[in-house]
Structure formats: structure tokens, C-alpha cells
Amino acid sequence: MTVTMPAVMATKSKASPSFGERLIALRKERGLTQVQLAKAINSTQRAISYYENHASYPPATVLADLAQALGVTTDELLGVQRARRAAMAKDDPEARRVWKKFQQLLTLPEKDQRAVIRLINSLVSVRETRRSSAA
């Protein structure tokens, strides 16, 4: 059987998205701009644009930082493993809004991040205490 070039190209176009396409999709799903993602990984908007628009993969350390900032595994970012969908649905604006706020949390200094987590833990603890005393 002879495979012509157009047939190979047609098959290729149906393949999984490129690294850049996955990066763009994940970034947009999280409601982040290139600048926000760059800040989250201590990089530049220009670097994020390069990773999104060129076929090459970023260095391993950058890949790990991107995965962490986007809340996915490196395998998911590379397309080795299917992306697991977060609990939020694309059509749930409230879940997207909360997710975006938590992504912004990653841009804060570590000390401030810990303060926000302590605040959340305190609020949850108070709510649980109120619930158990009412029961």
C-alpha cells in the first residue's frame, strides 16, 4: 500500500494538539493572560508567547513550573496523558472565577500565599464548629 503525502498530512492534522496549543488552552481555561502566567513562573510574557507559538518544548525546569502554575501534571502538559478535567465545568462561571483567584494567588509572595491559606483554613474551621454545635 502506498501512502501519499496528503494522506499523511491529513492524519497528522487529526493528531493531538501541539504543546503550544495545549499551553494556550490550559492558560485560557484558567483565565490567565500570558503576563499573569509569566509572573507565576517568574518568567516573561515574551517567553510564554514563544512556548505557545513555536514547536519546541521549554526546558524541563520551565515545564515543571508551567505545570504547577496551571494545576496539571507535566505529562498532561506534554500531551502524554489525557488532561483530567478539573471539577469546574467550562460553563460554571463561579467555579472559573474562584479558580482564577487561586491562580492569582500563585503570583503573590510565599508569605502572602501562606497567610491566605491560613485565612481560608480559619474560615472553614469556624464554619465546621458552628455546624457541629448546631447539630
CA atoms within 13 A on the CB side of 121: 6
Query: 48 or 91, which is more confident?
Result: 48
Q: How confident is the model at residue 80 (pLDDT cuts 50, 70, 90)?
A: confident
Q: How confident is the model at residue 103 (pLDDT cuts 50, 70, 90)?
A: confident
Sequence-distant (≥ 6) Cβ neighbours of residue 81 within 8 angstroms: 73, 75
Q: What is the rounded distance in angstroms from the CA atom of residue 129 to the CA atom of residue 98?
A: 24
CATH number of 5-134: 1.10.260.40
